[in-house]
Chains A and B, each alone.
Chain A
Amino acid sequence: MDNLHKPSLSRRKFLTLSASMLSAGSLLGGCKSAGVGIPHPTASQLAQRQTKDSVLALLSCQSYEEDIFRLLKPLLKDLTLPDLKGKSCLIKPNMVDFHPDKPLTTSPSVLKAAVELADYLGAREIIIGEGPAHIRDTEFLLDTSGVGKLCNKLGLKFVDLNLDDLEKVDNANGFSRVPVLYLPKTVLACDALVSLPKLKTHHWARVTASMKNLFGVVPGRKYGWPKNLLHVKGIDNCILDLTLLLKPAIEMVDAVVAMEGDGPLNGTARQSHFIALGTDPAAVDATCARAMGQDPEHIPYMRVAGQVIGNISESQIKIKGASLASVRQTFELPPSFRIKGIGENQAELQNAIDAGST
C-alpha cells in the first residue's frame, strides 16, 4: 500500500533521465541508425550476395598446444578455399586490448595455423596486420598477445594498420551513409584478406567474429582510438560496409577459448574448443553464433548479412569436420542484452554517449 504513495521516479531522477535522453538524442541525432536500425538493403547491395551454398569446417580443438594446421589439413579438401599461388595475403588477427586474465585476442597458435594455411595455399607474401582500437602502444600489444614473438620467429612483417598510408574508398552505397572511407593501403593492395578473430560476445553487436573483426582494419590515424565514427554511424551498418568493401577471402575463428558475458573486453573465458574455417563470412559468423546458442536471425547485422553477403540459413551451410551440435554451448550474454526497463535504458544511453569500446 505504501508503495502506491511513493513516486517511481524522483524529480531529480526524472530531470537527470530527461537530460540524458535529450543529450543522447542530440548526440545520435545525426546518425539515426546508430546501433538501432539498419537501412533496407538496396538492389545493388542485394545483388552482391553469394548465391551458392556455403561450405565451412568446424575443427574440434581442445587446446592451443595442438598442432592446429595438422588437424585442419584433412578438412581442407572439402572446402573451396581460394588459390593463393603468387598472391599476397594479409592476415588480420584481433589484438584489440590487453587484460592478463581475459581472452581478448586471437591466440598466436591460431595465427600460426593461419600462416601455415596461407603458405599451403601458395601465398607469395604473408603479412600480419592489425589496428588496435584502444591502445596506441602496439609494441605492448604485440608483446602481450604473443603475436610479436610469432612474427619474429616466422620472419613475418607486421603492419600497424592504424598508421598505414591511406586510400580513399567509395562507400556511397554503404549502409552507414558514410560516403567515403579512408582505409589502409596495405589492406587494399593485398590479394587476399584473412579475418582471424577471437569469438566473443559483444555488448552492442551481441556477437563478434569474422565480420566485426574488420573494425581493426579502420585506421586510427584518421578515425581515432577508439574508432568512434564506426559507433556513431551504427556498429551494425559499419560491420556490413566493411565486409562488403574488404571482401575477406578466408575467415578463421579462434573459439578454442572464447569470451562470454560482458564481451568484448570485460567478459569471461569460455572453453568452447573449436575453430571455424570458411570463405563466406556470413556463414562462418552465423555458425559461430549458433555455436554460442544464439540465433543469427536475431542479430541484426547477421540477418542483413544473410541478404547481402552470404548464407546464414542452416539449410544453406554445409559443415565439414565436427558437427555444430558437438560444439554448441549456451554462452552467457552481455548485460546489455539481458536488461530491460527505463533505468537500464538510461544506462544504455549513457554508454552510447561514452561509446567507448569495440
Chain B
Amino acid sequence: MRTKSDNTALTEHCRDGWWPYTPGKGPSLEATAWCAIACRKNLQLAKATLAYLTGAQNKDGGWSTDFYSGRSDWTSALALLAQRILLKEINAAEPDQNSTLTLEVSRSFESGVTFLSGARSELYNNVSKVILMIWKGPDYDYPRGWPWTPDTFHWVEPTSYALLALKPTDWAWQKPHQQIIRQAVAYLLQKSCAGGGWNYGCTTVLGVNLEPIPMTTCVALLSLQDEPLCPVIESSLSYLKGIQPETKTLLPLAWSTLALHSLGEDVAPLLRELHSRRNSDGGFGDNLTISALATIAVDIPRMDNPLKLK
C-alpha cells in the first residue's frame, strides 16, 4: 500500500533513470533532475539516474532538454545539480562502495562544469570589451549570466540554476572562476524589479516597470542565499513573503517553501498548504516537475533542503 511519503507517485513514472514532464511522454532533463532529487533516498533510482545523465551527456559536456533536441542548453545546470546531490546521497549511504560510479560521475560532472562555464551569453565584442576596460577598469565585473539556449541573451532562471549548480563546488572557489560567479551575481542583482523580486529578467520595457514573478523570485533568491544581505535581496524577500497569502498554485508554493526555508524563514504555513494539496498517491498531479518540487519541499522536515547552499 502506498503512503504519502514513499514518493510512489514519482517513482512509478521513472523509465531507465529518466522522467517525462507528464506521464507517458518522452524524457525531460528538467523533470528528470527534479524527480531524481525528490527521490534521492532511493539509491537504486539515484544510480539509474546518474547512469542516464552520463549517457545523455552531449559531446560538448552539456545536456539538452531531451537527448534528441539539438545543442546543449539551460538544462545542463540542472543535470549538474542532480549529479551533485545524488552522488552526495549515494556516497553518504554507501561509503567505500561506489568508487567506479564516483569516478564516472565526477568525470561527467567536470565535463559539464567546463561546458557551463563557457556557455554564458556573450554580451560584448572585442571592441566593446576594450572600451569597457578603459571606461570601467580591468577588474570591472560586468553583469553576465546564462541563456536558455545558445547565442541568446542571459536570463534570471538559467543564471540562477547555474549558480545553484556551481556555487557549492570546488570549481567555484578556484580563482579564475570566481569572476564567473561574481558576474552572474551582479547580473541577478541588476535585474531585480523596482520594489523587489525578479521576473524572467526584464525590468522595464519602454519606460514601464515590469512586475516580478513569484517563481523566478524564488529561484533567484535561492541562488543568492549565501550572498551578503543587501537592499535587493531584502526587498525581494519582503516581496516574496508579502505575496504568500495570495499564492495558491503549486509551482510558486513549492518554490516559495524551498526559497524561504533556505533563507531561514518560517515555512510551516506553506508546508501545511502543500500537505493539504497532496493527492492520496503522495503526488501532486500530472506535471511531474511540479510534483517533484512540491515533494522536495514537503520532505524538508523529514530530510533536508537539498537546495540549501550553506
Cβ-defined partner of A228 (8 Å) among B123, B149, B203, B206? B149
Cβ-defined partner of A347 (8 Å) among B203, B206, B251? B206
CA distance A137 to B148 in the complex (A): 17
A266:B147 contact, CB within 8 angstroms? no
CA distance A306 to B66 in the complex (A): 37
Q: 8 tightest CB-CB pairs across the interface, nearest first?
A: A356-B202, A224-B148, A26-B125, A163-B21, A228-B152, A139-B249, A22-B128, A354-B202
| Max count, chain A CB within 10 A of own CB: residue among B25, B68, B128, B251 | B128
CA distance A180 to B20 in the complex (A): 23
Residues of B within 8 A of A356 (CB): 199-202, 205, 210
A335:B206 contact, CB within 8 angstroms? yes
CA distance A351 to B202 in the complex (A): 9
Residues of B within 8 A of A111 (CB): none
A19:B135 contact, CB within 8 angstroms? yes
Q: Which of A221-275 contact B (CB under 8 A)?
A: 221-226, 228-229, 232, 262, 265-266
Give the interface of B toward A (CB within 8 A): 20-22, 25-26, 28, 30, 65-66, 68-70, 73-74, 122-125, 127-128, 131-132, 135, 147-149, 151-153, 155, 157-158, 199-208, 210-211, 213-215, 248-252, 287, 289-290
A-B contact pairs, 24 of them (CB 8 A): A15-B135, A19-B131, A19-B135, A22-B124, A22-B128, A23-B128, A26-B128, A134-B199, A134-B213, A135-B213, A137-B214, A139-B250, A160-B21, A163-B22, A222-B73, A224-B152, A228-B148, A228-B152, A347-B206, A347-B207, A354-B202, A354-B203, A354-B204, A355-B153
B149:A136 contact, CB within 8 angstroms? no
| Max count, chain B CB within 10 A of own CB: residue among A225, A226, A262, A357 | A225
A143:B68 contact, CB within 8 angstroms? no
Q: Besides the contacts A160-B21, A165-B20, A168-B69, what 8 more A-B pairs have beta carbons closer than 8 Å? A: A19-B131, A23-B128, A30-B151, A137-B252, A180-B70, A266-B205, A266-B208, A357-B210
CA distance A229 to B208 in the complex (A): 23
Does A336 reach chain B (CB closer than 8 Å)? yes
Residues of A within 8 A of B153 (CB): 27, 228, 232, 353-355
A166:B69 contact, CB within 8 angstroms? yes
Residues of B within 8 A of A23 (CB): 123-124, 128
Cβ-defined partner of B149 (8 Å) among A25, A203, A223? A223
A354:B128 contact, CB within 8 angstroms? no
A166:B65 contact, CB within 8 angstroms? yes
Does A334 reach chain B (CB closer than 8 Å)? yes
B123:A27 contact, CB within 8 angstroms? yes
B152:A29 contact, CB within 8 angstroms? no
CA distance A266 to B131 in the complex (A): 35
A29:B69 contact, CB within 8 angstroms? no
Name A144's closest neighbour in chain B (CB-CB): B249
CA distance A351 to B153 in the complex (A): 12
Residues of A within 8 A of B248 (CB): 140, 143
**Given the contacts A19-B131, A26-B128, A139-B249, A351 and B147 also touching, CB distance less than 8 Å:** no
B249:A203 contact, CB within 8 angstroms? no
Residues of B within 8 A of A228 (CB): 147-149, 152-153, 155
A166:B202 contact, CB within 8 angstroms? no
Residues of A within 8 A of B200 (CB): 134, 225-226, 356
Residues of B within 8 A of A99 (CB): 211
CA distance A340 to B21 in the complex (A): 46
Name A143's closest neighbour in chain B (CB-CB): B249
| Max count, chain A CB within 10 A of own CB: residue among B73, B132, B202 | B202
Cβ-defined partner of A19 (8 Å) among B73, B128, B204? B128
Does A345 reach chain B (CB closer than 8 Å)? no
CA distance A262 to B153 in the complex (A): 23
A140:B207 contact, CB within 8 angstroms? no
CA distance A336 to B205 in the complex (A): 10
Name A137's closest neighbour in chain B (CB-CB): B251
Shortest beta-carbon distance from B191 to chain A in Å: 9
A137:B132 contact, CB within 8 angstroms? no
Shortest beta-carbon distance from B56 to chain A in Å: 14
Interface readout for A199-212 with B: 1 if CB under 8 Å, 0 if not?
Answer: 00001000000000
CA distance A352 to B204 in the complex (A): 11
CA distance A110 to B133 in the complex (A): 55
Does A182 reach chain B (CB closer than 8 Å)? yes
Name A22's closest neighbour in chain B (CB-CB): B128
Cβ-defined partner of B205 (8 Å) among A222, A232, A351? A351
CA distance A229 to B155 in the complex (A): 12
CA distance A334 to B207 in the complex (A): 12
